[in-house]
Amino acid sequence: MAEATDVIVVGAGLSGLVAATEIADAGKRVIVVDQEGEQSIGGQAFWSFGGLFLVDSPEQRRLGIKDSFDLAMQDWLGTAGFDRDEDFWPRKWAEAYVAFAAGEKRGWLRAMGHRIFPVVGWAERGGYDAMGHGNSVPRFHVTWGTGPGIVEPFERRAREAVKSGRLVFKFRHRVDALSITNGTVDGISGAILAPDTIERGKSSSRNVVGEFALKAQAVIVASGGIGGNHELVRQNWPKRLGDPPKFMISGVPEHVDGRMIGITEKTGARLINRDRMWHYVEGIQNWNPIWPRHGIRILPGPSSMWFDATGTRLPAPLFPGSDTLGQLQYIMSTGYDYSWFVLTQSIIKKEFALSGSEQNPDLTGKSWRMTIKRATNKGAPAPVEAFKSHGVDFIVRDKIEDLVAEMNKLAGNDLLKLEHIKMQIEARDREIANPYVKDAQVMNIHNARRYIGDKLIRTASPHRILDPAQGPLIAVKLNILTRKTLGGFETDLDSRVFGAEGRVIPGLYAVGEAAGFGGGGVHGYRSLEGTFLGGCLFSGRNAGRAAAKAVG
Protein backbone atom coordinates (compact mmCIF):
# COMPACT_ATOMS: atom_id res chain seq x y z
CA MET A 1 0.00 0.00 0.00
CA ALA A 2 1.28 3.46 -0.92
CA GLU A 3 1.76 5.92 1.91
CA ALA A 4 -1.06 8.50 1.92
CA THR A 5 -1.35 12.15 2.92
CA ASP A 6 -3.56 15.12 2.13
CA VAL A 7 -1.25 16.95 -0.28
CA ILE A 8 2.06 16.14 -1.96
CA VAL A 9 4.48 18.91 -2.95
CA VAL A 10 7.12 18.03 -5.54
CA GLY A 11 10.11 20.26 -4.89
CA ALA A 12 11.58 21.79 -1.71
CA GLY A 13 12.49 25.12 -3.28
CA LEU A 14 10.93 28.41 -2.22
CA SER A 15 7.54 27.97 -3.92
CA GLY A 16 7.27 24.40 -2.59
CA LEU A 17 8.12 25.48 0.95
CA VAL A 18 5.58 28.31 0.82
CA ALA A 19 2.83 25.99 -0.44
CA ALA A 20 3.69 23.28 2.10
CA THR A 21 3.74 25.64 5.08
CA GLU A 22 0.41 27.18 4.10
CA ILE A 23 -1.09 23.66 3.91
CA ALA A 24 0.37 22.64 7.27
CA ASP A 25 -0.79 25.88 8.90
CA ALA A 26 -4.30 25.07 7.68
CA GLY A 27 -4.15 21.84 9.67
CA LYS A 28 -3.66 19.50 6.72
CA ARG A 29 -0.96 16.88 6.22
CA VAL A 30 1.65 17.42 3.52
CA ILE A 31 4.62 15.46 2.19
CA VAL A 32 7.40 17.34 0.38
CA VAL A 33 9.60 15.27 -1.94
CA ASP A 34 12.81 16.42 -3.61
CA GLN A 35 15.42 14.58 -5.65
CA GLU A 36 18.21 16.49 -3.89
CA GLY A 37 19.34 16.11 -0.30
CA GLU A 38 18.27 18.10 2.73
CA GLN A 39 21.28 20.38 2.28
CA SER A 40 19.60 21.83 -0.85
CA ILE A 41 16.40 22.97 0.84
CA GLY A 42 15.28 26.31 -0.57
CA GLY A 43 16.42 25.46 -4.09
CA GLN A 44 17.47 28.32 -6.35
CA ALA A 45 16.15 30.97 -3.98
CA PHE A 46 19.04 30.21 -1.62
CA TRP A 47 21.57 31.29 -4.27
CA SER A 48 19.72 34.45 -5.22
CA PHE A 49 20.46 38.08 -4.40
CA GLY A 50 17.12 38.13 -2.59
CA GLY A 51 15.56 40.93 -4.62
CA LEU A 52 11.84 41.58 -4.25
CA PHE A 53 9.55 43.76 -6.34
CA LEU A 54 7.50 45.99 -4.01
CA VAL A 55 5.28 48.94 -4.87
CA ASP A 56 4.89 52.12 -2.77
CA SER A 57 6.88 50.63 0.10
CA PRO A 58 8.06 52.56 3.19
CA GLU A 59 11.62 52.08 1.86
CA GLN A 60 10.68 53.80 -1.39
CA ARG A 61 8.85 56.62 0.35
CA ARG A 62 11.80 57.31 2.67
CA LEU A 63 13.99 57.77 -0.42
CA GLY A 64 11.52 60.15 -2.07
CA ILE A 65 10.31 57.62 -4.63
CA LYS A 66 6.69 58.13 -5.68
CA ASP A 67 5.20 54.81 -6.76
CA SER A 68 1.69 53.45 -7.13
CA PHE A 69 -0.26 50.41 -8.30
CA ASP A 70 -1.24 52.25 -11.47
CA LEU A 71 2.37 53.15 -12.34
CA ALA A 72 3.58 49.63 -11.56
CA MET A 73 0.79 48.08 -13.64
CA GLN A 74 1.65 50.41 -16.52
CA ASP A 75 5.27 49.28 -16.30
CA TRP A 76 4.33 45.61 -16.03
CA LEU A 77 2.07 45.64 -19.08
CA GLY A 78 4.57 47.65 -21.11
CA THR A 79 7.24 45.14 -20.17
CA ALA A 80 5.21 41.94 -20.55
CA GLY A 81 3.88 42.74 -24.02
CA PHE A 82 1.05 40.21 -23.68
CA ASP A 83 -0.07 39.41 -27.24
CA ARG A 84 -1.30 35.79 -27.32
CA ASP A 85 -4.58 34.03 -26.63
CA GLU A 86 -2.62 32.05 -24.02
CA ASP A 87 -1.95 35.27 -22.10
CA PHE A 88 -5.43 35.37 -20.56
CA TRP A 89 -4.40 33.77 -17.27
CA PRO A 90 -0.88 35.26 -17.20
CA ARG A 91 -2.46 38.72 -17.41
CA LYS A 92 -4.89 37.86 -14.59
CA TRP A 93 -1.89 36.75 -12.52
CA ALA A 94 -0.01 39.94 -13.36
CA GLU A 95 -2.84 42.12 -12.08
CA ALA A 96 -3.16 40.03 -8.92
CA TYR A 97 0.58 39.95 -8.32
CA VAL A 98 1.10 43.70 -8.71
CA ALA A 99 -1.77 44.23 -6.26
CA PHE A 100 -0.04 41.80 -3.87
CA ALA A 101 3.28 43.68 -4.28
CA ALA A 102 1.49 46.97 -3.60
CA GLY A 103 -0.48 45.52 -0.70
CA GLU A 104 0.09 42.76 1.82
CA LYS A 105 3.32 41.22 0.47
CA ARG A 106 5.73 43.26 2.60
CA GLY A 107 3.67 43.02 5.79
CA TRP A 108 3.11 39.28 5.33
CA LEU A 109 6.86 38.71 5.06
CA ARG A 110 7.72 41.14 7.83
CA ALA A 111 5.46 39.30 10.26
CA MET A 112 7.70 36.24 9.69
CA GLY A 113 10.85 38.20 10.53
CA HIS A 114 11.86 39.16 6.98
CA ARG A 115 13.74 42.46 6.68
CA ILE A 116 14.83 44.67 3.77
CA PHE A 117 18.04 46.58 3.05
CA PRO A 118 17.05 50.29 3.18
CA VAL A 119 18.42 51.37 -0.24
CA VAL A 120 16.06 50.35 -3.05
CA GLY A 121 17.72 49.23 -6.29
CA TRP A 122 16.72 50.30 -9.80
CA ALA A 123 16.73 47.33 -12.16
CA GLU A 124 15.57 47.08 -15.79
CA ARG A 125 15.33 50.84 -16.30
CA GLY A 126 14.07 50.64 -19.85
CA GLY A 127 14.71 53.79 -21.82
CA TYR A 128 11.84 53.73 -24.29
CA ASP A 129 8.59 55.65 -23.81
CA ALA A 130 6.39 55.71 -20.71
CA MET A 131 4.35 52.74 -21.92
CA GLY A 132 7.39 50.67 -22.91
CA HIS A 133 9.62 48.25 -21.06
CA GLY A 134 11.16 49.00 -17.69
CA ASN A 135 10.73 50.23 -14.15
CA SER A 136 9.84 53.92 -14.07
CA VAL A 137 11.17 54.08 -10.51
CA PRO A 138 13.43 51.95 -8.26
CA ARG A 139 11.52 48.90 -6.97
CA PHE A 140 14.23 46.26 -6.33
CA HIS A 141 14.17 45.62 -2.57
CA VAL A 142 17.11 43.49 -1.44
CA THR A 143 16.41 41.05 1.38
CA TRP A 144 18.62 41.63 4.41
CA GLY A 145 20.32 38.25 4.33
CA THR A 146 19.90 37.85 0.51
CA GLY A 147 18.59 34.47 -0.71
CA PRO A 148 19.02 32.62 2.58
CA GLY A 149 17.11 35.45 4.26
CA ILE A 150 14.06 34.84 2.06
CA VAL A 151 14.23 31.06 2.51
CA GLU A 152 14.70 31.13 6.29
CA PRO A 153 11.16 32.11 7.40
CA PHE A 154 9.60 29.33 5.34
CA GLU A 155 12.19 26.74 6.28
CA ARG A 156 11.59 27.64 9.92
CA ARG A 157 7.83 27.28 9.49
CA ALA A 158 8.37 23.95 7.73
CA ARG A 159 10.60 22.64 10.54
CA GLU A 160 7.92 23.59 13.06
CA ALA A 161 5.33 21.72 10.99
CA VAL A 162 7.61 18.67 10.94
CA LYS A 163 7.73 18.72 14.74
CA SER A 164 3.93 18.87 14.91
CA GLY A 165 3.61 15.92 12.52
CA ARG A 166 1.79 17.85 9.79
CA LEU A 167 4.72 17.96 7.36
CA VAL A 168 7.11 15.22 6.23
CA PHE A 169 10.18 15.78 4.04
CA LYS A 170 11.29 12.97 1.76
CA PHE A 171 14.62 14.01 0.29
CA ARG A 172 16.45 11.99 -2.38
CA HIS A 173 13.06 10.93 -3.77
CA ARG A 174 12.98 11.45 -7.55
CA VAL A 175 9.51 11.56 -9.09
CA ASP A 176 9.19 9.52 -12.29
CA ALA A 177 5.41 9.61 -12.75
CA LEU A 178 2.14 11.15 -11.57
CA SER A 179 -0.69 8.74 -10.86
CA ILE A 180 -4.16 9.48 -12.23
CA THR A 181 -7.41 7.77 -11.26
CA ASN A 182 -10.61 8.60 -13.18
CA GLY A 183 -9.01 11.79 -14.49
CA THR A 184 -7.87 13.01 -11.07
CA VAL A 185 -4.19 13.31 -10.11
CA ASP A 186 -3.90 11.39 -6.85
CA GLY A 187 -0.25 10.58 -6.27
CA ILE A 188 3.31 10.15 -7.45
CA SER A 189 5.81 7.35 -7.84
CA GLY A 190 9.50 7.18 -8.50
CA ALA A 191 12.96 6.19 -7.40
CA ILE A 192 14.73 6.56 -4.06
CA LEU A 193 18.24 7.82 -4.69
CA ALA A 194 21.27 6.88 -2.62
CA PRO A 195 22.01 9.29 0.24
CA ASP A 196 24.49 11.98 -0.78
CA THR A 197 25.84 14.68 1.50
CA ILE A 198 27.65 16.52 -1.29
CA GLU A 199 27.84 20.30 -0.93
CA ARG A 200 24.72 22.29 -1.86
CA GLY A 201 24.69 23.09 -5.57
CA LYS A 202 27.15 20.41 -6.64
CA SER A 203 25.95 17.53 -8.81
CA SER A 204 24.67 14.68 -6.62
CA SER A 205 24.57 10.94 -7.24
CA ARG A 206 21.79 9.43 -9.34
CA ASN A 207 22.28 5.89 -8.00
CA VAL A 208 18.89 4.28 -7.35
CA VAL A 209 18.47 2.26 -4.16
CA GLY A 210 14.70 1.72 -4.11
CA GLU A 211 11.25 2.74 -5.29
CA PHE A 212 8.39 4.63 -3.71
CA ALA A 213 4.75 5.53 -4.27
CA LEU A 214 2.67 8.14 -2.46
CA LYS A 215 -1.04 8.93 -2.58
CA ALA A 216 -2.81 12.23 -1.88
CA GLN A 217 -5.88 14.25 -2.73
CA ALA A 218 -3.74 16.89 -4.47
CA VAL A 219 -0.26 17.18 -5.98
CA ILE A 220 1.56 20.51 -6.30
CA VAL A 221 4.39 20.62 -8.84
CA ALA A 222 7.09 23.01 -7.60
CA SER A 223 10.03 21.57 -9.51
CA GLY A 224 11.62 24.68 -11.00
CA GLY A 225 12.74 25.37 -14.54
CA ILE A 226 15.21 24.25 -17.20
CA GLY A 227 18.24 26.56 -16.84
CA GLY A 228 20.70 23.78 -15.99
CA ASN A 229 19.72 21.81 -19.11
CA HIS A 230 21.38 23.62 -22.02
CA GLU A 231 20.04 21.14 -24.55
CA LEU A 232 16.47 21.95 -23.50
CA VAL A 233 17.22 25.69 -23.45
CA ARG A 234 18.45 25.49 -27.04
CA GLN A 235 15.50 23.31 -28.03
CA ASN A 236 13.03 25.96 -26.80
CA TRP A 237 15.10 28.97 -27.92
CA PRO A 238 12.82 31.55 -29.59
CA LYS A 239 13.47 32.38 -33.25
CA ARG A 240 12.95 36.08 -32.47
CA LEU A 241 16.27 35.99 -30.56
CA GLY A 242 18.20 34.44 -33.43
CA ASP A 243 20.12 31.18 -33.23
CA PRO A 244 20.85 29.87 -29.73
CA PRO A 245 24.30 30.68 -28.33
CA LYS A 246 27.05 28.19 -29.10
CA PHE A 247 28.59 28.90 -25.68
CA MET A 248 26.54 29.45 -22.53
CA ILE A 249 27.25 29.31 -18.83
CA SER A 250 24.80 28.25 -16.13
CA GLY A 251 23.22 30.48 -13.54
CA VAL A 252 21.65 27.46 -11.82
CA PRO A 253 22.88 24.00 -10.74
CA GLU A 254 22.79 21.01 -13.05
CA HIS A 255 19.75 19.42 -11.40
CA VAL A 256 17.55 22.31 -12.64
CA ASP A 257 16.88 20.17 -15.67
CA GLY A 258 13.17 20.48 -16.52
CA ARG A 259 12.64 16.75 -16.03
CA MET A 260 9.51 17.11 -13.89
CA ILE A 261 8.01 19.54 -16.41
CA GLY A 262 8.17 16.82 -19.06
CA ILE A 263 6.66 14.25 -16.69
CA THR A 264 3.78 16.57 -15.79
CA GLU A 265 3.14 17.49 -19.41
CA LYS A 266 2.71 13.78 -20.24
CA THR A 267 -0.32 13.68 -17.93
CA GLY A 268 -2.08 16.17 -20.22
CA ALA A 269 -1.09 19.36 -18.40
CA ARG A 270 -1.00 22.37 -20.71
CA LEU A 271 2.44 23.97 -21.02
CA ILE A 272 2.33 27.43 -22.61
CA ASN A 273 4.84 30.10 -23.61
CA ARG A 274 7.77 27.68 -23.53
CA ASP A 275 9.67 29.99 -25.91
CA ARG A 276 9.68 32.85 -23.41
CA MET A 277 12.93 32.88 -21.46
CA TRP A 278 15.03 35.10 -19.24
CA HIS A 279 18.76 34.71 -19.73
CA TYR A 280 21.36 37.30 -18.79
CA VAL A 281 23.98 38.81 -21.08
CA GLU A 282 26.42 39.95 -18.36
CA GLY A 283 27.55 36.46 -17.34
CA ILE A 284 31.10 35.78 -16.20
CA GLN A 285 32.66 32.38 -15.65
CA ASN A 286 33.06 31.63 -11.96
CA TRP A 287 36.74 31.27 -11.08
CA ASN A 288 35.68 29.19 -8.06
CA PRO A 289 32.73 27.14 -9.42
CA ILE A 290 30.23 25.16 -7.39
CA TRP A 291 28.21 23.53 -10.19
CA PRO A 292 29.12 22.66 -13.80
CA ARG A 293 29.58 25.68 -16.10
CA HIS A 294 28.91 27.89 -13.08
CA GLY A 295 28.38 31.51 -14.10
CA ILE A 296 27.71 34.68 -12.13
CA ARG A 297 25.82 37.72 -13.36
CA ILE A 298 27.25 41.18 -13.02
CA LEU A 299 24.63 43.59 -11.69
CA PRO A 300 26.01 46.70 -13.38
CA GLY A 301 25.53 50.36 -12.70
CA PRO A 302 24.94 52.63 -15.72
CA SER A 303 28.45 53.82 -16.62
CA SER A 304 30.39 50.97 -18.28
CA MET A 305 30.72 51.30 -22.04
CA TRP A 306 29.25 48.27 -23.80
CA PHE A 307 30.67 46.95 -27.05
CA ASP A 308 29.62 44.02 -29.18
CA ALA A 309 32.11 41.39 -30.37
CA THR A 310 33.07 43.55 -33.34
CA GLY A 311 33.83 46.59 -31.21
CA THR A 312 30.68 48.57 -31.97
CA ARG A 313 28.96 50.26 -29.05
CA LEU A 314 25.51 48.86 -28.27
CA PRO A 315 22.81 51.29 -29.47
CA ALA A 316 20.58 53.35 -27.19
CA PRO A 317 18.88 52.48 -24.93
CA LEU A 318 20.78 49.21 -24.50
CA PHE A 319 22.93 50.47 -21.66
CA PRO A 320 23.92 48.47 -18.58
CA GLY A 321 20.84 47.80 -16.45
CA SER A 322 18.30 48.88 -19.07
CA ASP A 323 16.80 46.00 -21.09
CA THR A 324 18.12 42.47 -20.65
CA LEU A 325 16.11 40.90 -23.45
CA GLY A 326 16.77 43.77 -25.85
CA GLN A 327 20.48 43.36 -25.19
CA LEU A 328 20.27 39.60 -25.76
CA GLN A 329 18.44 40.08 -29.06
CA TYR A 330 20.98 42.63 -30.27
CA ILE A 331 24.00 40.57 -29.25
CA MET A 332 22.69 37.43 -30.96
CA SER A 333 21.98 39.47 -34.11
CA THR A 334 25.72 40.20 -34.43
CA GLY A 335 26.51 36.56 -35.15
CA TYR A 336 28.50 36.24 -31.92
CA ASP A 337 27.39 35.15 -28.45
CA TYR A 338 29.53 37.46 -26.33
CA SER A 339 30.11 41.17 -25.77
CA TRP A 340 32.41 43.48 -23.76
CA PHE A 341 32.28 46.00 -20.95
CA VAL A 342 35.04 48.63 -20.92
CA LEU A 343 35.30 50.62 -17.72
CA THR A 344 37.61 52.09 -15.09
CA GLN A 345 38.61 51.18 -11.57
CA SER A 346 36.44 54.08 -10.35
CA ILE A 347 33.42 52.51 -12.06
CA ILE A 348 34.01 48.93 -10.93
CA LYS A 349 34.50 50.10 -7.35
CA LYS A 350 31.08 51.70 -7.13
CA GLU A 351 28.96 50.06 -9.81
CA PHE A 352 29.75 46.34 -9.94
CA ALA A 353 27.72 44.02 -7.79
CA LEU A 354 27.53 40.27 -8.34
CA SER A 355 24.32 38.30 -8.24
CA GLY A 356 24.20 35.46 -5.76
CA SER A 357 24.11 35.07 -2.00
CA GLU A 358 27.63 33.62 -1.90
CA GLN A 359 29.00 36.68 -3.77
CA ASN A 360 27.62 39.12 -1.18
CA PRO A 361 28.94 38.01 2.22
CA ASP A 362 28.16 41.41 3.75
CA LEU A 363 24.45 41.37 2.91
CA THR A 364 24.09 37.61 3.28
CA GLY A 365 25.82 37.69 6.67
CA LYS A 366 23.73 40.70 7.73
CA SER A 367 26.88 42.68 8.58
CA TRP A 368 26.32 46.43 8.62
CA ARG A 369 30.03 47.01 9.18
CA MET A 370 30.96 45.09 6.03
CA THR A 371 28.11 46.61 4.01
CA ILE A 372 29.12 50.19 4.82
CA LYS A 373 32.56 49.42 3.39
CA ARG A 374 30.95 49.22 -0.07
CA ALA A 375 30.75 53.00 0.03
CA THR A 376 34.06 53.67 1.83
CA ASN A 377 36.52 51.07 0.49
CA LYS A 378 39.25 52.13 -1.93
CA GLY A 379 38.65 49.01 -3.99
CA ALA A 380 35.56 47.20 -5.20
CA PRO A 381 33.84 44.71 -2.87
CA ALA A 382 36.14 41.76 -2.15
CA PRO A 383 34.22 39.24 -4.34
CA VAL A 384 34.43 41.67 -7.29
CA GLU A 385 38.16 42.21 -6.74
CA ALA A 386 38.58 38.42 -6.60
CA PHE A 387 36.99 38.10 -10.04
CA LYS A 388 39.14 40.97 -11.30
CA SER A 389 42.24 39.09 -10.13
CA HIS A 390 41.28 35.48 -10.92
CA GLY A 391 38.37 35.59 -13.42
CA VAL A 392 39.24 34.46 -16.94
CA ASP A 393 36.90 37.10 -18.40
CA PHE A 394 38.65 40.10 -16.79
CA ILE A 395 41.48 42.13 -18.31
CA VAL A 396 43.20 44.98 -16.45
CA ARG A 397 45.66 47.32 -18.20
CA ASP A 398 46.84 50.92 -17.87
CA LYS A 399 46.74 51.77 -21.59
CA ILE A 400 43.91 51.36 -24.10
CA GLU A 401 46.34 49.91 -26.66
CA ASP A 402 47.32 47.09 -24.32
CA LEU A 403 43.71 46.54 -23.24
CA VAL A 404 42.40 46.06 -26.80
CA ALA A 405 45.29 43.76 -27.68
CA GLU A 406 44.48 41.53 -24.70
CA MET A 407 40.76 41.58 -25.52
CA ASN A 408 41.51 40.18 -28.97
CA LYS A 409 43.83 37.61 -27.46
CA LEU A 410 41.14 36.45 -25.03
CA ALA A 411 38.52 36.24 -27.80
CA GLY A 412 40.92 34.38 -30.06
CA ASN A 413 40.42 36.74 -33.01
CA ASP A 414 41.28 40.23 -34.23
CA LEU A 415 37.76 41.64 -34.49
CA LEU A 416 38.48 44.63 -32.26
CA LYS A 417 40.24 47.54 -33.97
CA LEU A 418 42.06 49.92 -31.64
CA GLU A 419 41.18 53.09 -33.53
CA HIS A 420 37.49 52.15 -33.73
CA ILE A 421 37.28 51.46 -29.97
CA LYS A 422 39.34 54.51 -29.05
CA MET A 423 37.30 56.84 -31.27
CA GLN A 424 34.04 55.79 -29.58
CA ILE A 425 35.47 56.14 -26.08
CA GLU A 426 36.96 59.57 -26.81
CA ALA A 427 33.67 60.76 -28.30
CA ARG A 428 31.82 59.67 -25.17
CA ASP A 429 34.50 61.26 -22.97
CA ARG A 430 34.03 64.68 -24.60
CA GLU A 431 30.39 64.62 -23.44
CA ILE A 432 31.50 64.58 -19.79
CA ALA A 433 32.61 68.22 -19.87
CA ASN A 434 29.03 69.52 -19.51
CA PRO A 435 26.07 68.61 -17.28
CA TYR A 436 23.86 68.63 -20.42
CA VAL A 437 24.67 66.23 -23.24
CA LYS A 438 23.38 64.44 -26.33
CA ASP A 439 24.92 61.05 -25.50
CA ALA A 440 21.95 59.04 -24.21
CA GLN A 441 24.07 56.89 -21.89
CA VAL A 442 25.60 59.95 -20.23
CA MET A 443 22.07 61.36 -19.87
CA ASN A 444 21.20 58.07 -18.19
CA ILE A 445 24.10 58.48 -15.75
CA HIS A 446 23.00 61.99 -14.82
CA ASN A 447 19.42 60.74 -14.35
CA ALA A 448 20.62 57.90 -12.12
CA ARG A 449 22.57 60.27 -9.89
CA ARG A 450 19.44 62.33 -9.28
CA TYR A 451 18.24 59.33 -7.25
CA ILE A 452 19.97 59.38 -3.87
CA GLY A 453 20.26 55.59 -3.67
CA ASP A 454 22.19 55.43 -6.93
CA LYS A 455 24.31 58.45 -6.09
CA LEU A 456 25.36 56.96 -2.76
CA ILE A 457 26.23 53.39 -3.70
CA ARG A 458 25.52 52.49 -7.33
CA THR A 459 26.64 55.21 -9.77
CA ALA A 460 30.16 56.57 -10.12
CA SER A 461 30.74 60.29 -10.59
CA PRO A 462 30.80 61.03 -14.32
CA HIS A 463 34.38 60.95 -15.58
CA ARG A 464 36.38 60.25 -18.72
CA ILE A 465 37.06 56.57 -19.34
CA LEU A 466 40.56 57.45 -20.57
CA ASP A 467 41.43 59.63 -17.56
CA PRO A 468 44.52 57.93 -16.05
CA ALA A 469 43.51 59.17 -12.58
CA GLN A 470 40.39 56.95 -12.76
CA GLY A 471 42.29 53.84 -13.91
CA PRO A 472 43.43 51.27 -14.51
CA LEU A 473 41.27 50.35 -17.50
CA ILE A 474 39.23 47.16 -17.25
CA ALA A 475 37.61 45.02 -19.93
CA VAL A 476 35.16 42.22 -19.12
CA LYS A 477 34.13 39.57 -21.64
CA LEU A 478 30.41 38.96 -21.11
CA ASN A 479 28.80 35.58 -21.78
CA ILE A 480 25.18 34.43 -22.08
CA LEU A 481 24.08 33.08 -18.70
CA THR A 482 21.08 30.74 -18.50
CA ARG A 483 18.63 31.51 -15.73
CA LYS A 484 14.83 31.35 -16.03
CA THR A 485 12.08 30.04 -18.26
CA LEU A 486 9.20 32.51 -18.27
CA GLY A 487 6.60 30.07 -19.60
CA GLY A 488 5.08 27.16 -17.72
CA PHE A 489 1.92 25.29 -16.88
CA GLU A 490 -1.25 27.29 -17.43
CA THR A 491 -2.99 27.80 -14.09
CA ASP A 492 -5.94 29.71 -12.68
CA LEU A 493 -5.51 32.05 -9.70
CA ASP A 494 -5.68 29.07 -7.34
CA SER A 495 -2.70 27.55 -9.19
CA ARG A 496 -4.86 24.70 -10.53
CA VAL A 497 -3.43 23.34 -13.78
CA PHE A 498 -5.39 23.30 -17.02
CA GLY A 499 -5.38 20.32 -19.33
CA ALA A 500 -4.93 20.41 -23.07
CA GLU A 501 -8.69 20.63 -23.61
CA GLY A 502 -8.95 23.78 -21.49
CA ARG A 503 -10.43 22.23 -18.33
CA VAL A 504 -8.78 22.12 -14.92
CA ILE A 505 -7.12 18.78 -14.14
CA PRO A 506 -8.56 17.76 -10.77
CA GLY A 507 -5.94 17.37 -8.06
CA LEU A 508 -3.06 19.03 -9.97
CA TYR A 509 -1.46 22.37 -9.06
CA ALA A 510 1.72 24.08 -10.29
CA VAL A 511 3.73 26.89 -8.72
CA GLY A 512 6.93 28.87 -9.11
CA GLU A 513 9.00 28.57 -12.25
CA ALA A 514 7.16 25.41 -13.32
CA ALA A 515 4.05 27.61 -13.69
CA GLY A 516 5.87 30.53 -15.30
CA PHE A 517 5.74 32.10 -11.82
CA GLY A 518 1.95 32.12 -12.14
CA GLY A 519 -0.58 31.38 -14.85
CA GLY A 520 1.94 29.96 -17.29
CA GLY A 521 3.88 33.17 -17.77
CA VAL A 522 3.04 36.11 -15.51
CA HIS A 523 5.99 38.08 -16.94
CA GLY A 524 5.04 37.83 -20.59
CA TYR A 525 8.19 38.41 -22.63
CA ARG A 526 10.24 40.35 -20.06
CA SER A 527 10.78 40.71 -16.34
CA LEU A 528 10.95 43.83 -14.20
CA GLU A 529 13.30 41.94 -11.83
CA GLY A 530 12.68 41.12 -8.19
CA THR A 531 9.66 39.24 -9.52
CA PHE A 532 10.94 35.65 -9.66
CA LEU A 533 11.16 35.16 -5.90
CA GLY A 534 7.92 37.14 -5.60
CA GLY A 535 6.22 34.87 -8.12
CA CYS A 536 7.33 31.85 -6.10
CA LEU A 537 5.94 33.41 -2.93
CA PHE A 538 2.61 34.43 -4.46
CA SER A 539 1.92 31.27 -6.48
CA GLY A 540 3.03 29.02 -3.62
CA ARG A 541 0.79 30.86 -1.19
CA ASN A 542 -2.21 30.71 -3.53
CA ALA A 543 -1.71 27.01 -4.23
CA GLY A 544 -1.19 26.07 -0.60
CA ARG A 545 -4.28 27.88 0.57
CA ALA A 546 -6.43 26.59 -2.30
CA ALA A 547 -5.26 22.98 -1.93
CA ALA A 548 -5.82 23.06 1.83
CA LYS A 549 -9.42 24.14 1.25
CA ALA A 550 -9.99 21.59 -1.49
CA VAL A 551 -8.88 18.46 0.38
CA GLY A 552 -11.26 16.81 2.77
**Backbone torsions φ then ψ of 292, nearest 5 degrees:** -60, 140
* Across 418-432, average pLDDT: 98
Q: Tell me what pLDDT residue 501 has.
A: 85
DSSP structure string for 392-432: TTEEEESSHHHHHHHHHHHHTS----HHHHHHHHHHHHHGG
User: What pLDDT sits at residue 313?
Assistant: 98
Please give the share of the chain, as a percent, with pLDDT higher than 70: 100
Is residue 463 within 8 Å of residue 445, measured between CB atoms? no
- pLDDT, residue 384, reads 94
What are the pLDDT digits (tens) for 123-145?
999 999 999 999 999 999 999 99
Residue 218 to residue 30: CA distance in whole angstroms: 10
All residues at 6 or more sequence positions from 231 whose CB lies less than 8 Å from its CB, including other chains: none
Using a pLDDT cut of 90, give the percent of the chain over it: 96
Q: Are 37 and 174 in contact (CB under 8 A)?
A: no
Q: What is the pLDDT of residues 89-113, one digit of tens each?
A: 999 999 999 999 999 999 999 999 9
* pLDDT band at residue 379 using 50, 70 and 90 as cut-offs: confident
In this structure, what is the dihedral angle of CA atoms 73, 140, 277, 72, given to the nearest 10 degrees? 0
Which pLDDT score is estimated for 1?
66
Mean pLDDT of 273-295: 97
* Confidence band for 371, pLDDT divided at 50, 70 and 90: confident
Q: Which amino acid makes up residue 98?
A: V
Question: Residue 376: pLDDT above 90?
Answer: no
Q: What's the pTM?
A: 0.96
Please give the Cα distance from 24 to 31 (Å, whole number).
10
Cα–Cα dist 167/32, whole Å: 7
Residue 2 has pLDDT above 90, yes or no: no
Q: Which amino acid belongs to residue 385?
A: E
Give residue-wise pLDDT tens across range 466-518. 999 999 999 999 999 999 999 999 999 999 999 988 999 999 999 999 999 99
Could you give all domains of the chain from N- to C-terminal order, each with its CATH number? 4-223+486-550 (3.50.50.60), 279-481 (no CATH)
